[in-house]
């Protein structure tokens, strides 16, 4: 299941009606929906994309993950900042999972309980789960506002 099409089909079985292939590079996403996007040219390009998508998605958190060869943006459910990423189990067909980045829009600052450039407890819990299943030890927070990247913060399971 390395191909993007195979990952798309697998996601469709898990999230019927909530997996999309956007027609434009930058798009407004819907809470709880997943979007297959082209592979970013660089980390900076990925961060810019995430900031723009968050802004167009009513300043919702957006996460970027890699499933095998597919890149998927997930928009957080409205009014929540918990569960920043869905972590798949090591199932048949998924051989690679990376939580590349997620946004902390400054427009949601009052919901975090910490400064937007710090990981929330939900972020740490999610990365700990990713680490336990997939061995990944670091991820990235893209602090953004009005569709612009304000700061990029790397965080790890050990603080």
pLDDT in tens, 20-58: 999 998 999 999 999 999 999 999 999 999 999 999 999
What six digits make up the tokens of 10?
Answer: 């697998």
Quick: pLDDT tens for 112-157. 666 788 898 889 999 999 999 999 999 999 999 999 999 999 999 8
At residue 78 the predicted structure's pLDDT band, cuts being 50, 70 and 90, is low
For residue 99, pLDDT beyond 70: yes
For residues 42-72, one letter each, b for 16 or more C-beta atoms within 10 angstroms of the residue's C-beta and e for the rest, the string is eeeebbbbbbbbbbbbebbbbbbbbbbebbb
Handedness of CA 111, 115, 117, 119 (dihedral sign): negative
pLDDT at residue 133, rounded to an integer: 92
The arithmetic mean of pLDDT across residues 11-18, rounded, is 93
Domain hosting 10: range is: 4-156
What is the pTM for the complete model shown? Answer: 0.92
Q: Which of 16-30, 72-86, 91-105 has the lowest mean pLDDT?
A: 72-86
**Number of folded domains in the chain?**
1
For residue 82, pLDDT beyond 60: no
pLDDT at residue 80, rounded to an integer: 53
Dist. CA 29–CA 63, nearest whole Å: 11
Residue 149 DSSP SS3? strand
């Amino acid at each position: 299941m390395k191909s993007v099409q195979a990952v798309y089909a697998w996601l469709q079985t898990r999230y019927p009606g909530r997996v999309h292939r956007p027609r434009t590079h930058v798009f407004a996403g819907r809470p709880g929906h997943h979007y297959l996007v082209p592979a970013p040219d660089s980390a900076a390009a990925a961060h810019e994309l995430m900031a723009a998508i968050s802004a167009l998605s009513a300043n919702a958190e957006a996460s970027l993950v890699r499933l095998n060869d597919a890149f998927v943006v997930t928009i957080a459910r409205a009014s929540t900042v918990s569960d920043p990423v869905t972590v798949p189990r090591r199932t048949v067909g998924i051989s690679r999972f990376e939580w590349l980045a997620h946004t902390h829009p400054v427009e949601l600052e009052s919901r975090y309980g910490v400064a937007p450039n710090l990981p929330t407890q939900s972020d740490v819990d999610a990365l700990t789960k990713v680490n336990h299943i997939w061995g990944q030890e670091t991820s990235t927070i893209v602090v953004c506002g009005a569709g612009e990247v304000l700061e990029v913060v790397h965080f790890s399971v050990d603080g």
